[in-house]
């Protein structure tokens, strides 16, 4: 009950900030977001720049804080960078872990506040889920978010519009380990490394079996000459 009350208090405190953020965001629409796919239209990004030998490890986070910290430790030991798409309701209980991720040189990104189906949300609700998470994360650790991964990969044109209006790029993936369903670390490794190519965005979650497979996944790409880097770096020109 104490934890629930804490979350309610935090959400309440940030509602006013959210309103302010939304107003500012509407008046400050980026001049252009040009994804790797989609030409001049605003679309989701499924792969990074194919002209660079980069791949990205992406972790969608709503649970298992101790595993998240274990993942960061492995990344640090291997001297590679990754992107953590964090849920707002997880973030507001894990400020120290957010700081650990940022201070280790990794990227924080947005995964919505309550893990809702964004395809079913209207414009305002899409915007609320995204904006509130950004406000909370910035308040807790100072990081400013610019990438949004819709929970379960579910989004609509309305999601793209609301994310764009808030200054976010919508990120999907080119490789899905499906580690939330399957707990075989060898299967996770095989899915993460099958048919490697420039710009791969590799989706994972903080699971024990993923943590066990991670060193081998990293070694595979490093041995092939790939740079393992953040999503922002991977999708840049």
3-state secondary structure of 62: coil
Residues 106, 73 contacting (CB under 8 angstroms): no
Tell me which CATH code domain 2-235 carries. Answer: 3.20.20.370
> CA 66 → CA 31, 108, 110, 151, 208, distances in Å?
40, 17, 20, 21, 10
DSSP-based three-state secondary structure for 145: coil
Inter-residue contact 143 to 108 (CB < 8 Å): yes
Q: Which residues contact 76 (CB under 8 A, 6 or more apart)?
A: 104
Q: From first to last of the 237 residues of the chain, give the pLDDT tens digit.
A: 444 445 544 444 544 344 344 433 333 333 333 343 334 568 999 999 999 999 999 999 999 999 999 999 999 999 999 999 999 999 999 999 999 999 999 999 999 999 999 999 999 999 999 999 999 999 999 999 999 999 999 999 999 999 999 999 999 999 999 999 999 999 999 999 999 999 999 999 999 999 999 999 999 999 999 999 999 999 998
pLDDT for 42 equals 81
Q: What is the pLDDT of residue 7?
A: 53
What is the distance, to the nearest Å, from the Cα of residue 44 to the centroid of all Cα atoms in its chain?
13
Nearest CA to 64 out of 41, 43, 39, 93 is that of 93
Q: Where are the domains of the chain?
A: 2-235
CA distance 163 to 152: 16
Q: Which helix (H) or strand (E) holds 119?
A: none
| pTM over 0.95, yes/no | no
Distance, C-alpha 17 to centroid of its chain: 22
Distance CA(187)–CA(210), nearest Å, equals 10
Residue 128 CA from chain centroid, whole number: 17
β-pairing, 169-170 vs 107-110, is unpaired
Predicted pLDDT of residue 68: 98
Helices marked H in 107-207 — which ranges? 123-141, 157-165, 185-193
């Amino acid at each position: 009950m104490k934890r629930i009350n804490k979350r309610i208090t935090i959400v309440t405190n940030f509602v006013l900030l959210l309103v302010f953020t939304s107003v500012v965001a509407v008046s400050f629409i980026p001049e252009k977001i040009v994804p790797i796919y989609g030409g001049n239209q605003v679309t989701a990004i499924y792969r990074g720049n194919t002209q660079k030998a980069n791949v990205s490890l992406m972790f969608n986070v709503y649970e298992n804080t101790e595993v998240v910290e274990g993942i960061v430790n492995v990344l640090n030991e291997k001297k590679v960078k990754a992107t953590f798409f964090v849920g707002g309701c997880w973030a507001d209980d894990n400020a120290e872990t957010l700081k650990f991720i940022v201070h280790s040189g990794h990227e924080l990104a947005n995964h919505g506040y309550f893990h809702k189906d964004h395809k079913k949300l209207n414009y305002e609700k899409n915007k609320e889920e995204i904006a509130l998470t950004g406000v909370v994360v910035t308040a807790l650790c100072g990081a400013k978010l610019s990438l949004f991964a819709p929970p379960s990969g579910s989004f609509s044109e309305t999601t793209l519009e609301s994310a764009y209006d808030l200054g976010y790029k919508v990120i999907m993936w080119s490789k899905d380990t499906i580690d939330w369903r399957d707990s075989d670390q060898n299967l996770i490794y095989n899915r993460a490394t099958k048919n490697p190519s420039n710009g791969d965005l590799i989706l994972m979650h903080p699971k024990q079996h993923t943590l066990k497979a991670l060193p081998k996944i990293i070694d595979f790409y490093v041995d092939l000459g790939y740079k393992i880097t953040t999503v922002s770096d991977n999708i840049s020109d």
